[in-house]
Amino acid sequence: MSKGVNVEENQQATARENIMGTMNINPLLVKLSVPMMVSMLVQALYNVVDSIFVSHVSESALTAVSLAFSLQNVMIAVGVGTGVGVNALLSKSLGEKNQERANKTAENGIFLALCSYVIFFVIGLTCMKPYFYAQTSDPDIALQGIRYLRVCSVFSLGLFLQTMGEKLLAATGRTNLSMTSQLIGAVVNIVLDPIFIFGYCGEALSGTTGAAVATVIGQFCGAGAAIFFNLKKNPDIQISFKGFRPSGEAIRRIYVVGLPSIAMQCVGSVMTFFMNQILMAFSATAVAVFGVYFKLQSFVFMPIFGLNNGMVPIISYNYGARDPRRVKKTIKLAIAYAECIMLIGFCVFQFAPGLLLNLFAASDAMLAIGIPALRIICPHFLLAGIGIVLSSVFQALGNGVYSLIISVCRQLVVLIPMAWLLSRTGNVNMVWWAFLIAEVVSTTLSLVFMARINKNIIAPMQNA
């Protein structure tokens, strides 16, 4: 390596140190998080707009998209979880001034994104019918769901490349560029949704099929922007596939952090699948309400995920730099901001549930189920903010298994059994209380694990 290249890399490392290692935590967290929070809000809008337009086609179309969510969320889980592993390892490598490892991490991350696409391409061609008919016997709902999810799976390359590109930008502190790439994808999707869904491009591309086509076009546009920004605007990593060979060690390190994140989100898909089964025993409308709730709550939870995306590289960098004071301050500020967001969400869901449901052309039956549902579920927001932030803290410090344990306990060990037991009362309103019960358990477990992390990882750094 030439002396000129070494000088350039040292200058880049010094610039990163000035931001990640010395800048005051509060403005640094705001600087890195706000663009990601905006990006996540746009992502939430991205998801909700599909359902809003589809709901004006028919309630069965809305139910079909709701049933598709479980498998669609698995795709997102694999893309985001792999990106989380890349983000944490890349940020830690930069904190340790290990440029070679940072570059190798980025290259292997892109390789893994391509592998993920191949898997879901095959799933999209082979598994759609059994997936939907396992959830509903209504042929109209199943057919609309199959059309929607098959397009999303077979053309998911844009999703995986966009997600990985955004994580690479976020890991190097370029959250503005990450936000821009996601905005591009979301705006394209939102503009195309009514054009396709309402049949302006022909009957074959209307309804749920049109919603899927608009989604994948938006994802490819976002992916193109993310790739361009990484190649032209991100000097902290140098991506070159000349002579590239997958690194087993790099992939292992990525998935040490990434697999728990993937598993956590897949647990959410399993939970959704079983909740749909429980609610379908009441009515298809109850399933539609649950699907609408999940879309709406993303406006509350997505900004906190964006906050976490800004928080993780700060914690990972300063963990690599052995600075426990900055790690602890970042955690405290992130929890405080998360709770403020959750309080706003609680107020909106508690005092304006009818207004939210009417966005989805809610029928009288849907309002009768949905209004009490949103009011019963939303108090768990106030606890969830703590758990969501701490789960990302565990991942940033290399203890993603803790996050997985908490997620499994919340969504499978507690939520599903409680929802089933409460459904035996014959009152659908009782089912929604399972969310609050599960959150109390998971928040308690999160605090126990955080005490252990502080004792075994953060405190020793301080003593050293």
The pLDDT, as a whole number, for residue 6 is 47
Q: Is the pLDDT of residue 399 over 90?
A: no
Tell me the residue type at 168: L
**Could you give the CA distance from residue 342 to residue 379 in angstroms, rounded to a whole number?**
9
Token pair, residue 172, equals 């190097």
Sign of the C-alpha dihedral, residues 99, 104, 107, 108?
negative
Q: pLDDT exceeding 70 applies to what percent of the chain? A: 95
Q: Is the pLDDT of residue 7 over 50?
A: no
Q: Is the pLDDT of residue 126 over 90?
A: yes
The pLDDT confidence band at residue 12, using thresholds 50, 70 and 90, is: low
Name all contacts of 275-280 with Cβ < 8 Å and 24+ positions apart. 275/415, 275/416, 275/419, 276/66, 276/67, 276/70, 276/135, 277/135, 278/416, 278/419, 278/420, 278/423, 278/431, 279/428, 279/431, 280/135, 280/136
The pLDDT, as a whole number, for residue 236 is 79
The pLDDT confidence band at residue 17, using thresholds 50, 70 and 90, is: low
Alpha helix segments (H runs only) across 352-432: 353-358, 364-377, 381-396, 400-408, 416-423, 428-431
**Could you give the CA distance from residue 55 to residue 366 in angstroms, rounded to a whole number?**
12
Q: Is the pLDDT of residue 15 over 80?
A: no
Instruction: Output the average pLDDT for the chain.
Output: 86
Q: Is the pLDDT of residue 13 over 60?
A: no
Q: At what angle do helices 207-232 and 25-55 cross, to 10 degrees?
A: 160
Token pair, residue 101, equals 């490892």
What is the rounded average pLDDT of the residues 270-285? 90
Listed range (267-276, 334-343, 398-407) with the worst mean pLDDT: 398-407
pLDDT tens column, 178-210: 888 988 998 899 899 999 998 888 877 888 899
**Could you give the CA distance from residue 288 to residue 310 in angstroms, rounded to a whole number?**
33
**Could you give the CA distance from residue 157 to residue 47 in angstroms, rounded to a whole number?**
18
Q: Which residue has the tokens 């409460």?
A: 422
The pLDDT, as a whole number, for residue 348 is 95
Angle at Cα 234 formed by Cα 312 and Cα 388, nearest 5°? 15
Which of the given ranges, 9-23, 70-84, 165-179, 377-391, has the highest pLDDT on average?
377-391
The pLDDT, as a whole number, for residue 378 is 94
The pLDDT confidence band at residue 407, using thresholds 50, 70 and 90, is: confident
What is the rounded average pLDDT of the residues 166-173? 83
Q: Is the pLDDT of residue 424 over 50?
A: yes
What is the rounded average pLDDT of the residues 399-423? 90
Q: Is the pLDDT of residue 24 over 90?
A: no
The pLDDT confidence band at residue 11, using thresholds 50, 70 and 90, is: low
What is the rounded average pLDDT of the residues 357-384? 93
The pLDDT confidence band at residue 375, using thresholds 50, 70 and 90, is: very high
The radius of gyration of the chain's CA atoms, rounded to the nearest angstrom, is: 22
What is the rounded average pLDDT of the residues 359-366? 88
The pLDDT confidence band at residue 248, using thresholds 50, 70 and 90, is: confident
